[in-house]
Amino acid sequence: MKPRLDRGVLVAIEGIDGVGKTTQSIRLVERLQALGFDTVRFFEPTHETQEAALLGQKLQQSTHEASTETLELFLADRRYDVEEHIMPALFAKRLVVMDRYFLSTAAYQSNRLSWQEILDMNREIAPEPDITFIINWPAATAIDLIKSRNRGATAFENEQTLLLIKERYLEIAREDFGNYVVVDKIADEEDVCDEILDSLLKHLQEHGLVEYTV
């Protein structure tokens, strides 16, 4: 049986730094492709725009703080990603998996603006995910993984800051109208992927977004 989507489906993998978003997004795409879904993965920032390059420089600064300028860079890079990658894939009825998306911007950049305002700004330029998975691991566990990468930590990669952002993610999941699934830390990374895949397949079935052909 081969799955066929009724329309393009957008999935976002979110969470604080060090919870394995990239690992899980790659594994999810591999599992979906093995099941026959036409699946593609994108990540943000894109590394393809001048704005993304400037973001990379800013986020590596030990004194960096959320600012209007940084937010504008995220929005500009996201406009490019939507136009060049996300919307073409959705129009082609593909299943799109995002390694970070606009929820991340709201969680990390809400300082002078509220997360509600930042989400509103993003929703004006970017499509809403059908489902967003928030990997909810302890900040101390995330810090251990960050240290194992053997590279310099960014301004956001300390336990106190990650605790604050982690709580912001959970607040958004409770109070915002988006479709969020919080995935708490469980036995191992394969179990996390199993939970994400099972929840996604259930969502597709319950909303009539997939049918199977011989």
* Residue 11, domain CATH: 3.40.50.300
Q: Is 184 helix (H, G, I), strand (E, B) or coil?
A: strand
Range of the domain at 134: 2-213
Give me the pLDDT at residue 111, please: 84
Following CA atoms 114, 116, 121, 127 in sequence, which dihedral angle do they give, to the nearest 10 degrees?
Answer: 150
Using the predicted structure, report yes or no on whether residue 54 has a pLDDT greater than 70: yes
Using the predicted structure, report yes or no on whether residue 140 has a pLDDT greater than 80: no
Rounded Cα distance, 181 and 131, in Å? 7
Q: Do residues 73 and 58 touch, judged by C-beta distance below 8 A?
A: yes
Q: How confident is the model at residue 121 (pLDDT cuts 50, 70, 90)?
A: very high
**28 vs 162 pLDDT, higher one:** 28
Q: What is the CA radius of gyration of the chain?
A: 17
Number of domains in the chain: 1
Q: How confident is the model at residue 145 (pLDDT cuts 50, 70, 90)?
A: low
Rounded Cα distance, 131 and 55, in Å? 26
Q: How many residues does the chain have?
A: 214
Give me the pLDDT at residue 213, please: 83
- Which residue bears the tokens 């300028």? 69
Give me the pLDDT at residue 2, please: 87
